[in-house]
Amino acid sequence: MIGFDLTQEQIALQDMAHKFAANEIRPRAAECDRTGEFPTELFGKAFDLGLMTGFIPEDLGGLGLSALDACLIEEELGWGCSGIATSMTANGLALTPILIGGTGDQKKAFVEPFVKTLHYASFCLTEPGAGSDAGGIATTAKRDGADYVLSGRKCFITNGSHASQYTVFASTDRSKGHKGLSVFIVPRSAPGVSAGKKEDKMGQRASDTSDVLFEDVRVSAANRIGAEGDGFKIAMKTLDYARPTVAAMAVGVARAAFELAMQYAKERVQFGVPIAMNQAIHFMLADMAMDIEAARLLTYKGAWLLDQGKRSTKESSFAKAFAADLAMRVTTDAVQIYGGYGYMRDYPVEKLMRDAKLLQIYEGTSQIQRMVIAKEIMMR
């Protein structure tokens, strides 16, 4: 009836992602964190291994991986460096709306090129005045004959300054709030598109985060995904898919912090014994191990529901909120176990704590996940 064994193929995928994280991501992580460099050459290697195209269906040339497969990979990438993993995964977030709501021709035109060569795509929902409340989006798309004209500014966009294609949520009818949102595919090359300032962030500094501006940008109506007014529904469905992936990344971050804390606790001697001999430290490590396992199981459940073609809104939010909060808790406790050394940049755990904070903010804050869960448990 139920089993937790992975298949041979899943073990091989997990192993490949782990080796990539250990041999390619980790050696670059500290430097990219310090400099904020976007490691293009690393993404090239990941692309060649299929680590950036797994979510694309086989008929479009991708690997057609399941949601669970994607989570197995993501945990390993998050274990390597969540900043690098966030940028590696952003194409999935940007192209999923097309896979959900696009026609066959749109999938060929806007998704297939991402299998052939390494390009970046960005998901453009957030604006200065509309974060948690997407209904407040002020970017407009006005119909003009066979085209739409888009105007507005998006902020905090992952890979925004590197993307060749943007998935843009804009209002086609502002009087309808979130029901008036529609989604458009906008090429970077369209006149009027520009990337604004790159953000200087607390954590996940290898990932690019930028403003993207749309000034009277003309796109064909053939670039609209779904019908007018479908934008919010498509965005929410996309997030149902993306949230278990973020949860898996959070499990990876927490696991990295847990492993380091356990090793340090065995090595650090105070009062004549390793600090690992103290019950206070045992309990911190035991809580970490227990919560990591719980977060992983919630993540697998959310992904499994998606793979069964079932509604997973509640479970995707369970996983995202629990795993992001857990990553924050575990990384903070790892700094505690390292003591003063944990607070220093020479040691790896303070980076994990800074990186973890973002997991509680993007793709819906931890508060918004609880709002989604409350709605699901009270209204259905």
Ligand X SMILES: Cc1cc2nc3c(=O)[nH]c(=O)nc-3n(C[C@H](O)[C@H](O)[C@H](O)COP(=O)(O)OP(=O)(O)OC[C@H]3O[C@@H](n4cnc5c(N)ncnc54)[C@H](O)[C@@H]3O)c2cc1C
- Name the residues annotated as catalytic: 363
Round to whole Å and give the CA distance between 247 and 326: 10
40 binds ligand X (CB under 6 A): no
158 binds ligand X (CB under 6 A): yes
> For residue 56, what are its two tokens?
């694309």
Select from 142, 367, 374, 375 the one that contacts ligand X (CB under 6 A): 367
Nearest-approach distance from CB 274 to ligand X, in angstroms: 37
Cβ atoms of residues 47 and 62 within 8 Å: no
Residues 111-130 that bind ligand X (CB under 6 A): 122-126
Report how far Cα 30 is from the mean position of its chain's Cα atoms: 20
Cβ atoms of residues 323 and 250 within 8 Å: yes
Cβ atoms of residues 153 and 198 within 8 Å: no
Alpha helices in the chain (DSSP H): 8-20, 26-35, 40-48, 67-80, 82-101, 104-110, 113-116, 231-267, 279-307, 313-338, 349-359, 366-379
163 binds ligand X (CB under 6 A): no
Q: Which stretch binds ligand X (CB under 6 A): 107-115, 150-158, 236-244, 291-299?
A: 150-158
Q: Which stretch binds ligand X (CB under 6 A): 34-42, 223-231, 317-325, 362-370?
A: 362-370
Q: Which is nearer to ligand X, 280 or 379 (CB)?
A: 379
Round to whole Å and give the CA distance between 331 and 213: 35
Q: Which is nearer to ligand X, 284 or 323 (CB)?
A: 323
Nearest-approach distance from CB 91 to ligand X, in angstroms: 11
Collect all residues with Cβ–Cβ distance below 8 Å to 227 and sequence separation of at least 6.
182
Select from 82, 165, 209, 223 the one that contacts ligand X (CB under 6 A): 209
Q: Which stretch binds ligand X (CB under 6 A): 19-27, 184-192, 289-297, 361-369?
A: 361-369
What dihedral do alpha carbons 23, 35, 33, 156 form, nearest 10°?
-120
Residues 235-264 that bind ligand X (CB under 6 A): none
Collect all residues with Cβ–Cβ distance below 8 Å to 373 and sequence separation of at least 6.
314, 317, 318, 321
362 binds ligand X (CB under 6 A): yes
374 binds ligand X (CB under 6 A): no
Q: Which is nearer to ligand X, 132 or 263 (CB)?
A: 132
Q: Which is nearer to ligand X, 24 or 363 (CB)?
A: 363
168 binds ligand X (CB under 6 A): no
49 binds ligand X (CB under 6 A): no
Q: Which is nearer to ligand X, 126 or 172 (CB)?
A: 126
Cβ atoms of residues 17 and 73 within 8 Å: yes
Residues 264-303 that bind ligand X (CB under 6 A): none
Q: Which is nearer to ligand X, 106 or 209 (CB)?
A: 209
How far is the CA of 270 from the CAs of 175, 230, 231, 334, 349, in angstroms? 65, 61, 58, 17, 20
Residues found near ligand X in the complex (CB under 6 A): 122-126, 131-132, 156-158, 201, 209, 358, 361-365, 367-368
